[in-house]
Amino acid sequence: MLSLLSLRARIEAGSLTPSQAVALTRAAIAEHEPSVRALVTSDPDPVVPEMGPLAGIAVGIKDIIDTAHLPTQMGSSIYTGWQPRADAPIVARLKALGAVPIAKTTTTAFAFIDPTETCNPRAPGRTPGGSSSGSAAAVAAGMLPLALGTQTGGSVIRPAAYCGVVGVKPSFRLLPTVGVKCFSWTLDTLGLFAATAADAAHALALIAGRPEIERPVGAPRIGLLLPEFCDAAEPEALGALDHARVAAEAAGASIRAFSLPDLFKEAFDQHATIQDFESAQALAWEYTTHHETLPPFLRAHLDMAQSIDAAAYDAARRIAHHARRSLRDILRNADIDVILTLSAPGFAPQGYASTGDSRFNRLWTMMGVPCVTVPVPGEDAPLGVQVIAGFGHDARALSAATFLEQTLAERSRDYG
């Protein structure tokens, strides 16, 4: 995989120019894109700034995020060829840092669950996940050092786990969602995909203008959570979580069991009410004027969502608000830095009929807390574990993720 920090180190050392770095990316795209199909469109003649902290870094932009130089087509024929007049603020910020938004990456239609044609480069024959399918696959294939995704349920964390890359869902509102096609304004969150946790921390610190996010790595205090608010994981995922626990503990992390009260089962159950009520409004024009053009899963979802009333929505929001406040207090008093839990139920499902199950992601999206998927080394299809910190503690989540990533790599070398 292409590492953002490695490319930048070579540029700063003078052994690589930003233009040459982007040329490496373009060569990787030419080699892998025909089989991976992670990109919708790409810039045939990108402008490459020679200055800036992200100069030379080519970025994939999920195709629900506006770009003034490339069409934004939402994964839907309704928007074929649609060209925004302006960049979304997140894209403008990347350009200001010297990065090159070189391509639009595939997305399920309107970031729901109807699959794309993108293949999983790390697990042939298995889904790359969704909805940020192309961003996860492009980074996994070594085509891009950085890509943007979004998460409303599990659309960053899950595909990152399925494709064996690092995915970051930052704290809610840390990155602007203006210029991003809305599905649920309460839940939609911009996220990043990168080769390593250190790459992701560096990128997020720069993009958010918060250098404190990229802080020194130390052995964290970890609360190990086996969720009781949803169906259990498959044995392989539980094995990966235990492998991560053993590695972290051996490297000096303190680990203890962690659980959540029944309130969080109630909050987990309300995610769908909030998402569905808001999506019916966010996609009202498409539903009314292009109903038969919508893909089948999304069309059925919006048909059902019409029946959710405001009273149910308001009740769900009150429960979510209560849970967010309770989680803040629980984490403040729990004597832990981060939660370590599952990223996905197991291996990416075989075939391309489904993008997988987001049940280990939805609660944390609703809570608005930072989450990071860390790949767990293995010989089979990729698996990941999820590191979670309290709201606003993105530095803590990424520091712990980097510690875990390094620890797993060292253990893999020792026992490889």
Which tokens belong to 215? Answer: 């802080």
Fold of 4-213: Amidase signature (AS) enzymes (3.90.1300)
Residue 414, pLDDT > 80, answer no
What's the sign of the alpha-carbon dihedral 187, 295, 107, 285? negative
> Which residue stretches of 216-289 are H helix?
235-250, 263-282, 284-289
Fold of 221-264+316-415: D-Maltodextrin-Binding Protein; domain 2 (3.40.190)
8 Å CB contact between 132 and 191: yes
Closest CA to 237 of 361, 393, 369: 361
Bond into 15 cis (ω within 30): no
- pLDDT given for residue 364 in this prediction: 98
Q: Strand, coil or helix: what is 165?
A: coil
Q: Report which DSSP code applies to 65.
A: B
Q: What mean pLDDT is predicted for residues 300-317?
A: 98
Q: Strand, coil or helix: what is 63?
A: coil
8 Å CB contact between 63 and 72: yes
Of 42, 131, 132, 133, the active-site residue reads 131
In this prediction, residue 412 has a pLDDT band, given cuts at 50, 70 and 90, of: confident
**155 is annotated as an active-site residue:** yes
8 Å CB contact between 375 and 383: yes
- pLDDT given for residue 394 in this prediction: 98
Q: What is the dihedral of CA 375, 376, 380, 381, to 10 degrees?
A: -20
Q: Give first-to-last CA distance, the chain, whole Å.
A: 20
Q: Structure pTM? A: 0.97
Residue 58 C-alpha from the chain's centroid: 18
Give the percent of the chain with pLDDT over 70: 100
8 Å CB contact between 38 and 138: yes
Of 135, 155, 184, 343, the active-site residue reads 155
**131 is annotated as an active-site residue:** yes
- Compute the distance between CA of residue 96 and CA of residue 207 in angstroms, rounded to an integer: 9
- Compute the distance between CA of residue 192 and CA of residue 207 in angstroms, rounded to an integer: 10
Q: Which helix (H) or strand (E) holds 300?
A: helix 296-305
Domain ranges in the chain are: 4-213, 221-264+316-415
Rounded to the nearest integer, the mean pLDDT of the chain is 97
Q: What is the pLDDT of residues 281-295, one digit of tens each?
A: 999 999 999 999 999
Q: What is the pLDDT of residues 349-387, one digit of tens each?
A: 999 999 999 999 999 999 999 999 999 999 999 999 999
In this prediction, residue 415 has a pLDDT band, given cuts at 50, 70 and 90, of: low
Q: What mean pLDDT is predicted for residues 317-323?
A: 98
**62 is annotated as an active-site residue:** yes
In this prediction, residue 416 has a pLDDT band, given cuts at 50, 70 and 90, of: low
Q: What is the pLDDT of residues 59-114, one digit of tens each?
A: 999 999 999 999 999 999 999 999 999 999 999 999 999 999 999 999 999 999 99
8 Å CB contact between 346 and 236: yes
- Compute the distance between CA of residue 190 and CA of residue 151 in angstroms, rounded to an integer: 6
Burial class (CB in 10 A: 0-12, 13-18, 19+), 252: exposed
Q: Report which DSSP code applies to 311.
A: H
Q: What is the pLDDT of residues 191-242, one digit of tens each?
A: 999 999 999 999 999 999 999 999 899 999 999 999 999 999 999 999 999 9
Amino acid at the residue 1: M
Closest CA to 405 of 195, 213, 205: 195
Between vectors from CA 209 to CA 321 and to CA 181, what angle results, nearest 5°?
55
